[in-house]
Amino acid sequence: MIIFIAFSLIYCGFLLWARYHWCRIDTSVEADDGGLLTFSVIIPVRNEVANIASILADLQAQEYPADLYEVLVIDDDSDDRTLEIAAEVLQKSSMKYHLVRLKDYGMKGKKQAISKALELAKNEIILATDGDCRVGSMWIRVYAHKYTKDIQMITGPVRMVEHDFFTHLQSLEFAGLIGLGAASLQSGNPGMCNGANLSYRKSAFHEVSGYEGNQEIASGDDEFLLQKIFRAYPNGVLFLKDKRAIVSTPAKDTLGELINQRKRWSSKWKFHKSYYVKLMAIAVFFNYLVFAYMLVEGLTNEASFVIFTSFFLLRALVLSLYIRSVAIFLGVRNVIWASFVMEIIYPFLVLFLGIASIFGHYSWKGRYYS
Q: What structural domains and CATH numbers belong to the chain? A: 2-21+272-365 (no CATH), 26-254 (3.90.550.10)
Tell whether pTM > 0.75.
yes
3-state secondary structure of 108: coil
Q: Which residue has the higher pLDDT, 286 or 42?
A: 42
- DSSP secondary structure letter of residue 105: G
Q: Residue 297 carries which side chain, given as an amino acid letter? A: E
**Nearest 5 degrees, angle CA 141-CA 142-CA 146?**
115
CB atoms closer than 10 angstroms to residue 82: 22
- The answer to whether residues 342 and 173 touch, using CB atoms and an 8 Å cutoff, is yes
Q: Is the pLDDT of residue 202 over 90?
A: yes
pLDDT in the model for residue 81 = 93
CB atoms closer than 10 angstroms to residue 134: 18
CA–CA gap between residue 6 and residue 287 (Å, rounded): 9
- pLDDT tens by residue, 172-196: 989 999 999 999 999 999 988 999 9
Q: Which residue has the higher pLDDT, 11 or 274?
A: 11
pLDDT in the model for residue 288 = 83
Residue 353: pLDDT band by 50, 70, 90 thresholds?
confident
Bridge partners of 69? 39
pLDDT in the model for residue 30 = 60
CA–CA gap between residue 227 and residue 223 (Å, rounded): 6
Provide CB contacts within 8 A for 35, sequence distance 6+.
64, 65, 68, 144
